[in-house]
Amino acid sequence: MSIQALFYIIAIILLVLAALPIGTRGVSLALLGAAFALLAYSWNTITD
């Protein structure tokens, strides 16, 4: 499994957790999931 796939899996897990009705203090899980998705999407450009 590549690093890019790992980032996508982390993003999906965080976005699913953000959709659940649980309270988190401090960091927003949706924003963290979006950041991981953007990192996974741009991973080939960053490491090229």
Contact status, residue 3 vs residue 43, Cβ threshold 8 Å: yes
pLDDT digit string, tens, across residues 3-41: 999 999 999 999 999 998 887 777 789 999 999 999 999
Report the candidate in 42, 37, 46, 28 with the shortest Cα–Cα distance to residue 7. Answer: 37
Distance CA 43, CA 46 (A): 5
Is residue 1 scored above 90 in pLDDT?
no
Distance CA 32, CA 38 (A): 10
Domain boundaries, the chain: 3-47
pLDDT of residue 12: 96
